[in-house]
């Protein structure tokens, strides 16, 4: 099945224009039924999370949105270019930071001058200015994830798919990267769809959360995270977060 582009209309100019929609999507892999009935919407500028246990089909949803695999039934609409950041940074160990993050543009045979201009603009933004010639083994875990984030940004400045982006980091570095991601979201004003099995991470980062069941997967609940939207870091120790966490645990 083909992904369908969203029709253009007058609402496209608004911040609430729809950029991703899955409507009753189903996907099986042979006898393994992975997605039974998944429907969700993501609007321009939102930070939305798909929350569920490991093996619940979350990555399958991302692969469908990115056009990497087909789906069996339903409808998928995407309006905008998509960058896909996986849990592992996938940096090539024999290439330096500049070459690693530029790889998507190099593969598209983008003009070298344009690549240099983008590096000049974005390396300071992600805190990697001065590390252009460094190799992955010379970087900390957080720096490697920032390099991976920048490579995703080089792929697309519009829609980010973040697949357990910080799952491999220790708890301290993970918290630092979550704060950093919120800062980047504010600066870039892009659209982010995250998948995670970490309830605290979902509550901290999200505008809305879709809670997904185990396979064959369905969306069990859509939750709007309405508190501390202007400063999400204040959610860390808020009583609202604890209450919402208890609610999500009951759903799961």
Tens of pLDDT, residues 192-201: 999 999 999 9
Has residue 181 got a pLDDT over 60? yes
Average pLDDT over residues 134-162: 89
pTM value > 0.85 = yes
Of 131, 155, 179, the position where a domain reaches its end is 155
**Is 142 found in the same domain as 69?**
no
Has residue 14 got a pLDDT over 50? no
Query: What is the reported pLDDT for 242?
Result: 93
Counting the structural domains of the chain, the total is 2
Task: Give the model's confidence band at 9: pLDDT under 50 very low, under 70 low, under 90 confident, else very high.
Answer: very low
Of 155, 175, 205, the position where a domain reaches its end is 155
Query: What is the reported pLDDT for 213?
Result: 94
In the sheet that holds 18-29, the strands lie side by side as 73-78, 18-29, 32-43, 217-224, 208-212, 47-51, 191-196, 159-163, 82-85
Query: What is the reported pLDDT for 34?
Result: 95
d(CA 32, CA 45): 35
233 vs 168: which has the higher pLDDT = 233
Has residue 7 got a pLDDT over 80? no
Task: Give the model's confidence band at 5: pLDDT under 50 very low, under 70 low, under 90 confident, else very high.
Answer: very low
Query: What is the reported pLDDT for 130?
Result: 92
CATH label of the domain that carries residue 6: 3.40.50.300
Model confidence over 26-76: pLDDT tens digits? 999 999 999 999 999 999 999 999 999 888 889 999 999 999 999 999 999
**Is 65 found in the same domain as 25?**
yes
**Phi and psi angles of residue 84, each rounded to the nearest 5 degrees, phi first:** -120, 115
**Is 252 found in the same domain as 168?**
yes
d(CA 157, CA 91): 20
Query: What is the reported pLDDT for 210?
Result: 97
Kindly state whether residue 86 falls inside one of the protein's structural domains.
no
**Is 168 found in the same domain as 74?**
yes
Cβ atoms < 10 Å from Cβ of 80: 16
Residue span of the structural domain in which 53 resides: 1-81+164-252
CB 119 within 8 A of CB 102: yes
**Is 168 found in the same domain as 251?**
yes
**Is 168 found in the same domain as 151?**
no
Q: Residue 248: CB partners within 8 Å, gap ≥ 6?
A: 51, 199, 202, 203, 209, 211, 223
Query: What is the reported pLDDT for 87?
Result: 73
Of 122, 155, 188, the position where a domain reaches its end is 155
Separation in Å, CA 51 to CA 42, 196, 242: 14, 5, 16
Query: What is the reported pLDDT for 247?
Result: 94
Query: What is the reported pLDDT for 129?
Result: 92
Kindly state whether residue 105 falls inside one of the protein's structural domains.
yes
- For the ranges 3-7, 8-12, 131-135, the lowest mean pLDDT is seen at 8-12
Task: Give the model's confidence band at 142: pLDDT under 50 very low, under 70 low, under 90 confident, else very high.
Answer: confident
**Is 217 found in the same domain as 110?**
no
**Is 228 found in the same domain as 148?**
no
């Amino acid at each position: 099945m083909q992904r369908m582009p969203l029709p253009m209309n007058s609402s496209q100019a608004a911040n609430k224009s729809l950029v991703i929609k899955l409507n009753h999507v189903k996907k099986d892999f042979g006898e393994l039924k992975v997605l039974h009935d998944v429907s969700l919407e993501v609007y321009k500028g939102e930070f939305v999370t798909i929350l569920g246990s490991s093996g619940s089909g979350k990555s399958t949803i991302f692969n469908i949105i990115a056009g990497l695999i087909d789906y069996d039934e339903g409808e998928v609409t995407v309006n905008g270019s998509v960058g896909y950041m996986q849990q592992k940074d996938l940096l090539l160990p024999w290439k330096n930071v500049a070459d690693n993050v530029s790889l998507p543009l190099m593969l598209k045979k983008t003009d070298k001058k344009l690549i240099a201009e983008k590096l000049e603009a974005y390396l300071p933004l992600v805190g990697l200015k001065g590390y252009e010639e460094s190799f992955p083994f010379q970087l900390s875990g957080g720096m490697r994830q920032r390099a991976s984030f920048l490579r995703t940004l080089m792929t697309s400045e519009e829609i980010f798919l973040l697949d357990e982006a910080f799952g491999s980091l220790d708890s301290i570095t993970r918290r630092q990267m979550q704060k950093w991601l919120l800062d980047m979201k504010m600066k870039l004003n892009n659209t982010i769809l995250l998948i995670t099995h970490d309830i605290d991470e979902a509550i901290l980062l999200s505008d809305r959360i879709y809670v997904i069941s185990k396979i064959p997967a369905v969306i069990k609940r859509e939750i709007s995270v309405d508190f501390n939207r202007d400063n999400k870091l204040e959610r860390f120790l808020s009583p609202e977060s604890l209450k919402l966490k208890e609610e999500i645990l009951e759903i799961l």
